[in-house]
């Protein structure tokens, strides 16, 4: 049976409305936020985390945002996943939220473009 829609997911989709339609998919106890086939945000514990590079991370942290840290269950090791929370001021302002999200989407696009293209498998 399908899970009912998550109210927080619906809120986030509306919050990012000015940047155009986004899709949200549940994954690993949280959810990913996608646009143009790329994940640019992560949702966990009713918090929006944006994919970052060094500059976006610094800008978000200057606004008081915090990194998403995943704790590996088997070892307790803490791993910084490269996502930083959306500033609290943007949670009530779709234009501000979408501005930050566009920057995160640009980071996701740049990282995807930098990945090596896999070699096609030769026929046997």
| Helix (H), strand (E) at residue 24 | strand 23-27
Answer whether 0.85 is exceeded by the pTM.
yes
Q: How confident is the model at residue 28 (pLDDT cuts 50, 70, 90)?
A: confident
pLDDT of residue 29: 80
- Residue spans of the domains in the chain: they are 7-111
- At the fourth CATH level, the homologous superfamily of domain 7-111 is YgaC/TfoX-N like chaperone (3.30.1460.30)
Please report, for residues 35, 48, 61, 112, 120, the alpha-carbon distance to residue 24 in angstroms, rounded to integers and kept in the order given.
9, 12, 25, 19, 31
| Comparison of pLDDT for 115 and 55, the residue scoring more | 55
pLDDT of residue 118: 74
In tens, the pLDDT along 45-82 reads: 999 999 999 999 999 999 999 999 988 889 999 999 99
């Amino acid at each position: 049976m399908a899970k009912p829609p998550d109210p927080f997911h619906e809120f986030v989709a509306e919050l990012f409305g000015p940047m155009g339609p986004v899709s949200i998919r549940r994954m690993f106890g949280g959810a990913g936020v996608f646009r143009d086939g790329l994940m640019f945000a992560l949702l966990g514990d009713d918090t929006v985390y944006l994919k970052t590079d060094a500059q976006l991370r610094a800008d978000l942290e200057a606004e008081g945002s915090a990194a998403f840290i995943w704790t590996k269950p088997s070892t307790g090791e803490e791993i910084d996943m490269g996502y930083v929370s959306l500033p609290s001021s943007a949670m009530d302002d779709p234009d501000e939220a979408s501005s930050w999200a566009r920057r995160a989407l640009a980071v996701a696009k740049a990282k995807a473009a930098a990945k090596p293209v896999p070699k096609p498998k030769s026929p046997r």
